[in-house]
Amino acid sequence: MPKCTINGTEVEVKEGATVIEAFKKMDEDIAHYCWHPGLSIAGVCRLCMIDVEGARGPQIACNTVVKEGMVVTNQSEQIKDIVKWGMDFHLINHPLDCPICDQAGECGLQEQYMKFGQYDPEMDQRKVKKRKVVDLGEKVVLDSERCILCSRCVRFTDEVSKTKELGIFNRGDRSEIGTFKDKPLNNKYSLNTVDICPVGALTSKDFRFRQRVWYLKNEDTVCNGCSTGCNIKVYYNEDGLFRVKPEHNEEVNGYWMCDDGRDIYKFANKDQRLLKAKKFDGSTWLEMTAGKAMQDLHQNLFNDVKTNCSKVGVVFTGQYTNEEYANAMQTFKSLGVASFFEWNDSESTKDEFDGLLIRGDKNPNTKGLQDEARNHSGLKSLSDAISAVESGQIDTVFVMAPENISVYPNYQKTYESLSKAKNFIWFGANKTEGFEKTSSANTYLIPMKSYIEKDGTFSYHDHAQKFFAVTTIVAGALTLSEAMTLFQGKELEFELRAKPMTSLKNNHFTLNRGKL
């Protein structure tokens, strides 16, 4: 393990590590655009300049391997000057787009200009104009004027997604990023290029112009789009969630996530959610709060379930947390109910894996569900449940419905088949408008919290991850555990928890209003 000295402090790094990694380890400022820890080294931006003691001249930190006893600094006047005018060179043809650029507020150029640049431009020639608003594919838009040709996006499609759609075309100041003629950027990981682009050259069609980034807070959580469980950051404000970006976790997802996972914020937003509990008593739908509905359920059905426990079925999906499964199964077991079913619309593809991140099992917690059920009487399949309902073997069904319904193509069909039962209790986060009318039974619809709003643990295919509530979107919704407590006729206990306002510090513009 070689040791080196970075700006006067000694640091030990891994064998073969580069100087820029040592800088990052020390949290020392160093200008850079093209280096990305998840990609190969390109050394094209020439901003990560350092002085190495004994070397002939300045070097680039991203392509210099640390050697034992190396003494490195980037504090000398000469280096600062090189970086400053290097930055000027990058910005010669850069348009004055910040007001309409989606990257503004989290832009590498803005940040590094304030840190290392702050020069007065000395260019008196006209700017080279390039193509704007180029449609690269289904999800990504390119603005070649803003591109600084760091080649991160090209390296991403070459090395990580291995789809090789992007390239740099032309030469000199006419160089441009582009796709080969008939091959749009449509791979399953394309939005990662937007994340790693240090400027606003690549933007996401989904997020474009919907919010300014400084209006958003962010919080870490995990993705529930499949059983990989990428670590993510969700960006939200009082209007709901707006986007999802990957967070680095070497053991799970590295620096990346798939494009489908970035849509998970959509089902959690208010316009997709069941806001109030509903009860159908054979003729009309009554709206009530979730707590009221659970009390009602306790009075009407609790004793019934106890006495008729052999005619009760509980259908689970792999979209709830371990804690909720434990609680719910315990509750039903104590009532004597033993028929547990598993509903999984991605059953047939559940062992598929694309070699990078995407897994065929589109539930985050199938493993947690199956592990928990092993402590009880195991899980039967959904078709068993449907036939039992049809034959009248089961007349009371509790359904723990999925929240990410985009991976449940049979969502409505299953609702319709199961709602033929005499008593039908549906716990779900999504709105059921459009098909709730088909039910003729004693039906309850109980709004559930999405996983963004609760604490819990998911057991993914080979690891478990704990996550914490990010924000509240539907105030009246319950977790499954809360619903079970109320179902047993007990009171809810509230734990008031002061949340540290970590995200506030991200909101630089609001905090420094008037001082900028």
Q: Which residue ranges make up the site for ligand FES (CB under 6 A)?
A: 32-35, 43-48, 60, 62
Task: Identify what 270 binds: ligand FES, ligand SF4, another protein, none; CB under 5 to 8 Å per kind.
Answer: none
Contact 418, 395 (CB under 8 A): no
Does 94 contact ligand SF4 by CB under 6 A?
A: yes
Alpha-helix runs per DSSP H in 170-233: 191-196
Query: CB 138 → ligand SF4: shortest distance, Å?
Result: 17
CB nearer to ligand FES: give 43 or 360.
43
Instruction: Report how far residue 496's alpha carbon sits from residue 503's, in angstroms, rounded to the nearest whole number.
Output: 19
Instruction: Report how far residue 367's alpha carbon sits from residue 436's, in angstroms, rounded to the nearest whole number.
Output: 30
Instruction: Report how far residue 150's alpha carbon sits from residue 193's, in angstroms, rounded to the nearest whole number.
Output: 12
CB nearer to another protein: give 243 or 311.
243
Residue 335: CB atoms within 10 A of its CB come to: 18
The dihedral formed by the CA atoms of 313, 317, 320 and 323, expressed in degrees to the nearest 10? 50
Task: Identify what 47 binds: ligand SF4, ligand FES, another protein, none; CB under 5 to 8 Å per kind.
Answer: ligand FES
CB nearer to ligand FES: give 32 or 245.
32
- Left (φ > 0), alpha (ψ -120 to 50) or beta: where does 27 sit? left
Q: Which of 164, 163, 189, 320 is CA-nearest to residue 246?
A: 189
Query: CB 63 → ligand FES: shortest distance, Å?
Result: 6
DSSP bridge pairs for 70: 4
Query: Could you say which of 90, 146, 273, 311 contacts ligand SF4 (CB under 6 A)?
Result: 146
Which position has the token pair 């499609």? 157
Query: CB 30 → ligand FES: shortest distance, Å?
Result: 8
Query: CB 36 → ligand FES: shortest distance, Å?
Result: 9
CB nearer to ligand FES: give 152 or 278.
152
Query: Could you say which of 26, 71, 104, 464 contacts ligand SF4 (CB under 6 A)?
Result: 104
Instruction: For 414-443, give the DSSP string.
Output: HHHHHTTSSEEEEEESB--TTTGGG--SEE
The dihedral formed by the CA atoms of 461, 464, 466 and 470, expressed in degrees to the nearest 10? -10
Instruction: Report how far residue 485's alpha carbon sits from residue 493's, in angstroms, rounded to the nearest whole number.
Output: 9
Task: Identify what 209 binds: ligand SF4, ligand FES, another protein, none; CB under 5 to 8 Å per kind.
Answer: another protein
CB nearer to another protein: give 2 or 95.
95
Contact 173, 186 (CB under 8 A): no
Residue type present at position 297: L
CB nearer to ligand SF4: give 83 or 328.
83
CB nearer to ligand SF4: give 207 or 411.
207
Instruction: Report how far residue 191's alpha carbon sits from residue 261's, in angstroms, rounded to the nearest whole number.
Output: 10
- The sign one gets for the Cα dihedral 446, 447, 451, 455 is negative
Does 101 contact ligand SF4 by CB under 6 A?
A: yes
Query: CB 176 → another protein: shortest distance, Å?
Result: 15
Size of the site for ligand SF4 (CB under 6 A): 25
CB nearer to ligand FES: give 31 or 241.
31
Does 110 contact ligand SF4 by CB under 6 A?
A: yes
CB nearer to ligand SF4: give 500 or 514.
514
Contact 207, 456 (CB under 8 A): no
**Piece in contact with ligand SF4 (CB under 6 A), picked from 117-125, 143-151, 331-339, 467-475:** 143-151
**Piece in contact with ligand SF4 (CB under 6 A), picked from 11-19, 92-100, 260-268, 339-347:** 92-100
Q: Which of 55, 100, 98 is CA-nearest to residue 78?
A: 55
**Piece in contact with ligand SF4 (CB under 6 A), picked from 151-159, 181-189, 221-229, 291-299:** 151-159
Query: CB 100 → another protein: shortest distance, Å?
Result: 4
Residue nearest to ligand SF4 (CB): 101
**Piece in contact with ligand SF4 (CB under 6 A), picked from 130-138, 141-149, 257-265, 414-422:** 141-149
Query: CB 150 → another protein: shortest distance, Å?
Result: 22
Query: CB 44 → ligand FES: shortest distance, Å?
Result: 6
Q: Which residues bind another protein (CB under 8 A)?
A: 96, 98-100, 104, 125-127, 129, 132-133, 208-210, 212, 214-215, 509-510, 513-514
The dihedral formed by the CA atoms of 85, 90, 92 and 93, expressed in degrees to the nearest 10? 180
CB nearer to ligand FES: give 151 or 179.
151
Cα dist. 236→99, 264, 265, 325, 511 in Å? 21, 13, 9, 28, 17
Residues lying near ligand SF4 in the complex (CB under 6 A) are found at 94, 97-99, 101, 103-104, 107, 109-110, 146-153, 177, 197-202
